[in-house]
Chains A and B, each alone.
Chain A
Amino acid sequence: MTDTNTNDIDTEAIKMTLDSEKNKMKLWLKVCAHCSLCAESCFLFTTKGRDPKYMPSHKFINSIGKLYKKKGKVSRKTLEEIGDIVWNRCVLCTRCYCPFGIDIPEMIALGRKICRTQDIYRKYDEE
């Protein structure tokens, strides 16, 4: 379960950031009933061939949800995957709908904040 190589990641810094928002984020992660009703509210979901990867819930479960599950102890590879989710699969348009009023953009924003501390930024198209 745990990632093997966490040497090149400041897991303590990640954990501190996670802890600062722990109560709220854990509550949101718990309240999510995995109903997938948020899907159509994401314009990326509707324009990327309705790929579940672009569902708001899929995005926060596999980014912030994963970080809380592993208590910040992730490898660079995992964090880069999380970076791909929070930077490239979401534009923070803040239009996502959740039947339970989960503030999904705030979760993605926290994911971005954590990625920034580990030098994982948005990668722009190289032409």
Chain B
Amino acid sequence: MYQCARGPLVWASLIIFIIGTIFQVLRFYSLTRKAGLSPHVPLLKPAQDEERKLFPGRILEILKKAGQTVIAVHPVTITVSTIFHLGLVFVPFVVMGHNDLIKLTFGFSLPSVSDHISDILTMVVLLSCAFFLFRRIFLFRVRAITTFYDYLLLALATVPFLSGFFAFHQIFDYRTVMTVHMISGELMLIAIPFTKLSHMIFFCLNRFLVINEHTIGKGRRAWQIRFQS
């Protein structure tokens, strides 16, 4: 099991993840079309906006814009969520142990942080996981749309970090914990393109490329409409 998880399963999950992601991106392009003229209408744009603003002015402007978004409605959730998602994606790349393996395999390594810092980062991710769990259990409106599947996905994201934490601190049997760590990480990688975790891919595509009131980028695509009557 241990040998299988550290050898062929790593490659299999990586390949499935990459192919699945490419498939989902292609699917996105087949479900959208290039939109014609930009339907963006500059909203609430005062005339004095044209003049060049100094740095503090620009910061103020960004804050003002942020104040009109969901950040102002749920400042805590958005902050925790941002930290959690950034941690989820980037912490595995800066852990020293992971980088040693990358160097062994590919001959190069990415910048890594010290063990102490990666330990803190892992704890931050774990605490945010706990935040989401409590939110799901205790907030009535989140509970109203929560299914068992949501808990399963949260577990899928938590277990690789929790087992990594246990492995680093040598809690429980090291070999077992490492097996759980590797298999859960591989499962998460496989699950990304095919489950609700695909929101990782579609967040980038939907929010940056599709024209929408809340577009972050300069969306130039629109969803295909196939309504039949």
Measured CB to CB, the residues of A under 8 A from B are 16-17, 20-21, 23-24, 27, 30-37, 39-41, 50, 52-53, 55, 57-58, 61, 94-95, 97-103, 106, 110, 113
Contacts A16-B228, A20-B226, A101-B207 given; does A30 touch B145 at CB 8 Å: no
User: 4 extra interchain contacts, Cβ-Cβ under 8 A, other than A40-B74, A55-B144?
Assistant: A21-B227, A36-B144, A55-B141, A100-B207
> Cβ of B45: which chain A residues have Cβ within 8 Å of it?
none
Select A101's contact among B74, B77, B140, B206, beta carbons within 8 Å: B206
Select A31's contact among B77, B196, B210, B214, beta carbons within 8 Å: B196
Residues of B within 8 A of A (CB-CB), count: 36
Q: Are B223 and A30 in contact (CB under 8 A)?
A: no
Contact with A along B18-38 (1 / 0, CB 8 A): 000000000100110000000
Q: Are A31 and B206 in contact (CB under 8 A)?
A: yes
Select A34's contact among B73, B81, B147, B206, beta carbons within 8 Å: B147
CA distance A20 to B228 in the complex (A): 7
A-B contact pairs, 23 of them (CB 8 A): A20-B227, A24-B31, A24-B224, A24-B226, A27-B202, A30-B195, A31-B202, A33-B196, A34-B147, A35-B142, A36-B142, A36-B144, A36-B145, A52-B140, A52-B145, A55-B145, A95-B213, A99-B70, A99-B203, A100-B202, A101-B212, A101-B215, A106-B223
Q: Which residue of B lies closest to A22 (CB)?
A: B226
User: B43 in the interface, Cβ–Cβ < 8 Å?
Assistant: no
Q: How many A-B residue pairs have CB under 8 A?
A: 93
CA distance A36 to B73 in the complex (A): 12
Q: Are A31 and B145 in contact (CB under 8 A)?
A: no
Q: Are A101 and B214 in contact (CB under 8 A)?
A: yes
> Cβ of B31: which chain A residues have Cβ within 8 Å of it?
23-24, 27
Shortest A105–chain B CB gap in Å is 10
Which residues of B141-189 have CB atoms within 8 Å of chain A's CB atoms? 141-142, 144-147, 150
Shortest A10–chain B CB gap in Å is 15
> Cβ of A34: which chain B residues have Cβ within 8 Å of it?
142, 145-147, 150
Shortest A89–chain B CB gap in Å is 13
> Cβ of B227: which chain A residues have Cβ within 8 Å of it?
20-21, 110, 113
User: B139 in the interface, Cβ–Cβ < 8 Å?
Assistant: yes
Shortest A109–chain B CB gap in Å is 9
User: B79 in the interface, Cβ–Cβ < 8 Å?
Assistant: no
Contacts A37-B70, A113-B227 given; does A57 touch B145 at CB 8 Å: yes
